[in-house]
Amino acid sequence: MNRWLDELFELLRFPSISTDSRNKDDVQACAEWLAARMKSAGLESKIHPTPGHPVVIGRNKHEAGRLNVVVYGHYDVQPVDPLELWDTPPFDPVEKDGKIWARGATDNKGQFFAHLCGITETIEESGKLPVNLTMLLEGEEEIGSPSLRPFLEEHREDLACDVIVVSDTGMVAKGVPTLGYGLRGIACCEIAVSGPARDLHSGVYGGAVANPATAVAQLVASLHDGEGRVAVEGFYNDVVPLEDWEREMWGAVPGMTPDDVLGVTGSPSLSGEQGYSSAERLWARPTAEVNGIWGGYQGEGSKTVLPAEAFAKLSFRLVPNQDPAKVMEKVIAHLERHCPPGVKIAVDPGHDGQPYHTDPHSAFSKAAQAALKKTFGADPVLIREGGSIPIIQDFKEVLGADTLLLGLALPDCQIHSPNENFTIENFEGGIRLNRVLFEELAGC
């Protein structure tokens, strides 16, 4: 493990923030490091330029009659703000309390690198892998993977496969192996509300001129009714109800009691759509969330202005059968209909992604469950994930293959937040999982 930890620490030191143009060279350097690392493992590797950040491909020698497996991961990471809340520098990884602390430790460098370490061990010990492998690592997942679908379409034949393996999701609790068979989709937008031509004195003009900050607050409040349901007209039209077996299984999933959820989040109480458990709300119900809201004076003390503009960033998590484009049309219509008088609204749609769903009882899914049980010594639980990985549905549409979501993240890993971490126990478990998984899949 010392060897693998040293290499993971090297990988984590790259500040490969895809959304910030100042880190473009860092993203490129990370891609080059990964290509060299794949080559040292015994794979043929190649860096493919895209209009954005590179795609890195590694392949073993493919043999006729063997299963074709794609292992996907992303080497780009989220920004680190607010930096002052980190206990240690985000790109100077440290080992503490059985965990690796760094930006990207869980999302997603630690998880996909566990697979690469498992691949390396198998090749070093056996000389080859039991499957035809293509490892695909991209550098734009955190900004919606804009270059990847065109890349898949261009390289469809080279990437042809029977099944895809992704570890970019989570375990429901420590020691509980978890197979994900669904992901929520996403649709994002930013709203800008404008009023007067410039900031105004709130005493001289307040009460006579509409306040854009107040208008944004009213628009945000209009998104939900009193029972926690999204109030956008037609929002639930295409939502597929939960199956009875899902509700029964999820009711017994470890780590999802009210106390568990409150303990992980630090929230004072639960909230959300009435009539559903936390697991059901997170994994199978759509949502509307405010990701940012601002306008007016933000400095110390008071500045009594009526701001000329105010803004909010919104995201909508979607479930099977909901189409992001159609949902956004409904959202825009709702916002325009509820815009208060005296201000103007502009809605700028952002990135989106389709929800994903597959059969957890298929042959490949059963092989994955067997591998999870052998690796972690317990029966796996079957869940849908609350997060979104838009490229997973693109894989299905372009390559015609389903994805096995074999998450290694724990609920308290703090992805996208300060002090992101990854347990060494799960990093080591991911290495063992990779070795067992390929053997199980080869037998399908």
pLDDT > 70 fraction of the chain, expressed in percent and rounded: 100
- Contacts of 233 by beta carbon, 8 Å cutoff, 6+ apart: 330, 333, 334
Is residue 74 within 8 A of residue 55, CB to CB? The reply is no
Q: How far is CA 71 from CA 243, 386, 401, 432, in A?
A: 30, 21, 12, 15
Q: What's the mean per-residue pLDDT of the chain? A: 96
Our CA angle for 419, 420, 426, nearest 5°, is 135
Give one word for 49, left, alpha or beta, with left for phi > 0 and alpha for psi -120 to 50.
beta
pLDDT tens digits for range 154-202? 999 999 999 999 999 999 999 999 999 999 999 999 999 999 999 999 9
Number of other CB atoms surrounding residue 434 within 10 Å:
25
pLDDT of residue 390: 83
Query: What is the rounded CA–CA span in Å between residue 221 and residue 312?
Result: 12
Q: Does an H or E element contain 120, and which?
A: helix 109-126
Predicted pLDDT at 415: 95
| CA pair distance 109, 56, nearest whole angstrom | 14
- The answer to whether 378 touches 172, Cβ cutoff 8 Å, is no
Alpha-carbon distance 145 to 389, whole Å?
Answer: 9
Whether 379 shows a pLDDT value over 90: the answer reads: yes
Rounded mean pLDDT, 49-76: 98
- Residue 101 reports pLDDT greater than 90: yes
**Amino acid present at 19:** T
284 has pLDDT over 90: yes
Domain spanning 2-183+355-442: CATH 3.40.630.10:
yes
**305-330 per-position pLDDT tens digit:** 999 999 999 999 999 999 999 999 99
For residue 1, the model assigns a pLDDT of 87
Dihedral sign (CA 1, 413, 418, 352): positive
Q: Where in the chain is the domain with CATH 3.30.70.360?
A: 185-239+286-351
SS3 for 236?
coil
Q: Where are the domain boundaries for CATH 3.40.630.10 in the chain?
A: 2-183+355-442
Which amino acid would we find at residue 405? L
Is it true that domain 185-239+286-351 has CATH number 3.40.605.10?
A: no
197's torsion region: left (phi>0), alpha (psi -120 to 50) or beta?
alpha
**Which pLDDT does position 388 carry in this prediction?**
87
Q: Token pair for residue 206?
A: 């307040």
